[in-house]
Chains A and B, each alone.
Chain A
Amino acid sequence: EVQLVETGGGLIQPGGSLRLSCAASGFTVSTNYMSWVRQAPGKGLEWVSIIYSGGNTHYADSVKGRFTISRDNSNNTVYLQMNSLRPDDTAVYYCARAPVAVAPFHHWGQGTLVTVSS
């Protein structure tokens, strides 16, 4: 059974950094396309970043230069390093899996809440 479990969320001050983790089971992250998607309070879904099976990465314009996606194949885990956090980064962050680059997100985690506030 495919399972994605996000951890690492919390309350952080503006300008701070946080690293989110997404532990996967039931499949191998290195052969799939792993994304982070977020939902701000009262808003819709917003794609944030993706890491391809080959290792290429892509970002939404809103986070480019501040966020970095990576993975640890030995731990079957995907990460999102978030720097220079702003109040508008406040959201529930979901990890999601696609089997190929052009596919939609077949599996999602339950999400982890990030709150950026002083």
Chain B
Amino acid sequence: EIVLTQSPATLSLSPGERATLSCRASQSVSSYLAWYQHKPGQAPRLLIIDASNRATGIPARFSGSGSGTDFTLTISSLEPEDFAVYYCQQRSNWPPKYTFGQGTKLEIK
């Protein structure tokens, strides 16, 4: 079973700063990695598909990179609405299972 480990657990930054979030897989997931943003009381929101492709309607300040076992979500200049919890997620082929990382909480400094 593939395990996704996110770091850091909490990231404290100010609006306008650059955020770099990491997701490491216990074995290669090729480029089949997604990123989500989740705010309390709201539905999770898909940000990045296949490691580096922005989902529909996602602002250009969000970008993803990586392949194999190491992935990064970068927010180039934080807006007030970006403070949330971020999850990475992958899917194993057989049996089909969908695994999430434990999340990184991005909080206002």
Contacts and interface: CB of A to CB of B under 8 A. Distances in A.
A110 B91 contact: no
Given A58-B97, A110-B43, A45 B38 contact: yes
Nearest to B93: A102
Contact of B43 (A60, A94, A101): A94
Nearest to A61: B97
A46 B99 CA distance: 7
Interface in B25-62: 32, 34, 36, 38, 41-46, 49, 55
Interface residues of A, number: 23
Contact of B100 (A46, A102, A106, A109): A46
B80 interface: no
Contacts of A102: 32, 91
Contacts of B72: none
Contact of B97 (A4, A47, A105, A109): A47
Interface residues of B, number: 24
B89 A104 contact: yes
A35 interface: yes
B98 A108 contact: no
Interface string B4-25: 0000000000000000000000
A113 B8 CA distance: 28
A44 B102 contact: yes
Interface of B: 32, 34, 36, 38, 41-46, 49, 55, 87, 89, 91, 95-103
Task: List 6 A-B pairs, minimum CB-CB distance, nearest first.
Answer: A104-B34, A47-B98, A108-B43, A45-B100, A44-B103, A58-B96
12 contacts: A45-B36, A45-B103, A47-B98, A94-B43, A94-B44, A96-B44, A103-B49, A104-B89, A105-B36, A106-B46, A107-B46, A111-B43
Given A45-B87, A109-B43, 15 more contacts: A44-B101, A44-B103, A45-B103, A47-B97, A47-B99, A50-B96, A50-B98, A58-B95, A101-B96, A102-B91, A105-B36, A105-B44, A105-B46, A108-B44, A110-B42
